[in-house]
Structure 1
Amino acid sequence: MADPLALPSPSIIEGLDYEAILGALMADVRDRFAGAGIDYDVGHLETDPVKIVLEAAAYREMLLRARVNDAAKANLVAFSEGTDLDHLAAFYDVARLQGELDEALRERVILAISGRSTAGPRDWYRAAARRASDRVKDAAVYRIGLGPDIRVAVLATDNYGEPDAALLAAVRNVVTSDAVRVISDRIEVIAATSTTVDLAADAWLLPDAPQTVFDGLEDGLRAALAAQGGLGFDVTRSWLVATLHQPGVQKVVLHTPASDAVVGDNAAATLGTVALTYKGRGR
């Protein structure tokens, strides 16, 4: 299935140009005057009453065209928002979860479309896992060997990606239900965060940087991994150094990990212990 979010803007959504609309209106009125044998230079003066009326008409026409654009967008998954997206999702039997934002709902609609099959494709189970809770950021679905054993690896939106027992149970209840599970599949729900990265580093601050810059480095690093990371995201040494190099930080020397943490497409990395040592201030 083609990804609707990756497609270019459709031609039905028109680019708006107020000056072009106004120019077309003025040209039309000039032609009408000329056809009536009247030599009238529309727009020769900014105070020309005909031009003032045409400017108002051009602005109203632009607003109308913008409304047509909005109506077209409301019927497209990639652009629809709010209650328009709710109605579009309902067509595919997808309902907004409590507190769910448009971006997450849009992703689930696309999953529901691509997962429609009685054969139980990967996205069928991913869509089911995502609707179990708005705390599910993503899920990886893969088969063990050639047998019936299926793994559903869950990544959480909170707790830096680590799903707790309650979230795993919620996903398990949905994906193993009779309405979802293909009868020949044996499903196990696990945490996607299978790789733990321990970090040890030294950090120096710039002379005028407040101490709070250093104090917030660990929380900032964990938040950055939760936001930027995900399934298949490798935690490289260069990424760790760059993320720790916040405004006010003069230097970072990374001791651990000694190598990049490379994860598979069905897994995610999480931070374990973070040992940051304040080494003073550089020049």
Structure 2
Amino acid sequence: MSMDMSLLPAPAVIEVLDFEVILARRVAEFQELCEQAGFDYSLLLESDPAMKLLEVQAYQELEMRQRINDAAKACMLAYATKTDLDNLGANYQVYRLIVTPADPTAVPPVEAVYEDDERFRERIQLAPEGTTTAGPVDSYRLHALSASAEVADVGIDSPIPGTVRVTVLSTDPSGVPSEALLNTVGGALNAEKIRPLCDSVPVQGPEIFETVITAKVYRYEGPAGEVALANGKIALDKWLLKIRKLGKGLPHSGIDAALHQPGVDRVEITDPPADMLCTKTQWVRVTAIKVLEEVVSG
């Protein structure tokens, strides 16, 4: 399984920027030069025109350094986005898939919809596995994800020797792959140059468990508590999107971590009644989210 690049430490080449630090350095350099020239600028007031000029220069330097940071990130797989990511993918002969083709005959014309950055990033990360036949797990995963942009996730396991079972989760909200999608993935994995000779590779849809999330958030009174509740709902949506994968399940700890924002006293989870655990052939579909609130005194 490919590593989670979000867990990588920040690269040393990315500079931490601080406008006040840059300004203080420029002021000190300016005062030193003035002293050498015989001018006394030891008391540099905020209203002084020289101070305004130094502030402008410091801001310009900040922008320049931020541009350097952005350029450095654009060269890294963990940070690159959009066309920068496309160019990194080209180094591995991996190209962004089309989700919905363009329709120039429509009124107005419809542009093509392409694979999102995160899914494309994972395929680039898996690209070295594609130099072999689909023997390793990550090689099967790469070829399955590359078969169609409708593949949201892939589970690979071997229930019996000689059989590699591939489970496909669809990008459709239901998660259920169509027969056409299963056939597309199966055709890609069973190609002569992809599948090892001795492997049998059945392709199937996942076993899906449906549930709702019901939780009560005990928040502190006042604006801070209201913000905490709103942030918790946003965090929960983001977390659910992140774990929309086979085998991830639905643990209470994740729900609690998302909703338990600063300004929240505690979280009570009613549904699901317990952690929902899954195998690589299973997926939990959340059909509804209900977050109740109760205000408590700090």
Mark yes or no: TM-score above 0.5.
yes
Give unpaired runs (5+ residues) of structure 1: 202-222, 241-251, 275-283
What's the offset of the Cα at 1:263? 2.3
CA distance in 2, matches of 1:118, 1:5: 28
* Aligned with residue 179 of structure 1, among 193, 197, 200: 193
What's the offset of the Cα at 1:115? 5.5
What's the offset of the Cα at 1:87? 0.4
Give CA-to-partner distance per residue, 1:11-43, whole Å, 9 cap, x none. 11111111111110110111111122322236x
Q: Does 1:125 align with 2:140?
A: yes
CA distance in 2, matches of 1:60, 1:73: 20
What's the offset of the Cα at 1:198? 7.9
Which letter does structure 2 place at the counterpart of 1:111? Answer: L
Cα separation, partners in 2 of 1:191 and 1:49, compared to 1, 3 Å: same
CA distance in 1, matches of 2:115, 2:124: 13
Cα separation, partners in 2 of 1:122 and 1:51, compared to 1, 3 Å: same
* Aligned with residue 142 of structure 1, among 157, 162, 167: 157
What's the offset of the Cα at 1:59? 0.8
Map of 2:264 onto structure 1: none
Map of 2:279 onto structure 1: 264
SS, match of residue 232 in structure 1 = coil
Aligned CA RMSD, in angstroms, stands at: 3.3
CA distance in 1, matches of 2:155, 2:147: 14
SS, match of residue 186 in structure 1 = coil
SS, match of residue 194 in structure 2 = coil
SS, match of residue 201 in structure 2 = strand
CA distance in 2, matches of 1:70, 1:258: 45
What's the offset of the Cα at 1:197? 4.5
Which letter does structure 2 place at the counterpart of 1:68? Answer: I
Map of 2:74 onto structure 1: 74
What's the offset of the Cα at 1:268? 1.9
Spell out the pairing of 1:1-283 with structure 2 (5 A cutoff).
2-41=3-42, 44-98=44-98, 99-113=114-128, 116-117=131-132, 120-145=135-160, 147-192=161-206, 194-197=207-210, 227=241, 228-234=243-249, 262-270=277-285
Which is higher, the Rg of structure 1 or of structure 2?
1
What's the offset of the Cα at 1:261? 5.2
Contact 2:144 2:185 in 1 (8 A): yes
SS, match of residue 149 in structure 1 = coil
Contact 1:162 1:270 in 2 (8 A): no
Contact 1:161 1:226 in 2 (8 A): no
CA distance in 1, matches of 2:47, 2:148: 61
CA distance in 1, matches of 2:75, 2:84: 8
Give CA-to-partner distance per residue, 1:74-125, whole Å, 9 cap, x none. 0111110000000001112211011211111112212224565457210101
Cα separation, partners in 2 of 1:86 and 1:224, compared to 1, 3 Å: closer
Contact 2:134 2:189 in 1 (8 A): no
The total of aligned residue pairs comes to: 236
What's the offset of the Cα at 1:7? 0.2
Give CA-to-partner distance per residue, 1:55-78, whole Å, 9 cap, x none. 111111111101100110001111
Contact 1:235 1:262 in 2 (8 A): yes
CA distance in 2, matches of 1:83, 1:236: 36
What's the offset of the Cα at 1:138? 0.5
What's the offset of the Cα at 1:53? 1.4
Give unpaired runs (5+ residues) of structure 2: 99-113, 215-236, 256-268, 289-298
What's the offset of the Cα at 1:191? 0.8
CA distance in 2, matches of 1:239, 1:22: 43
SS, match of residue 39 in structure 2 = coil
Cα separation, partners in 2 of 1:29 and 1:130, compared to 1, 3 Å: same
Cα separation, partners in 2 of 1:124 and 1:81, compared to 1, 3 Å: same
CA distance in 2, matches of 1:78, 1:191: 30
CA distance in 2, matches of 1:269, 1:4: 24
Contact 2:147 2:184 in 1 (8 A): yes
Cα separation, partners in 2 of 1:176 and 1:226, compared to 1, 3 Å: farther
Contact 1:115 1:121 in 2 (8 A): no
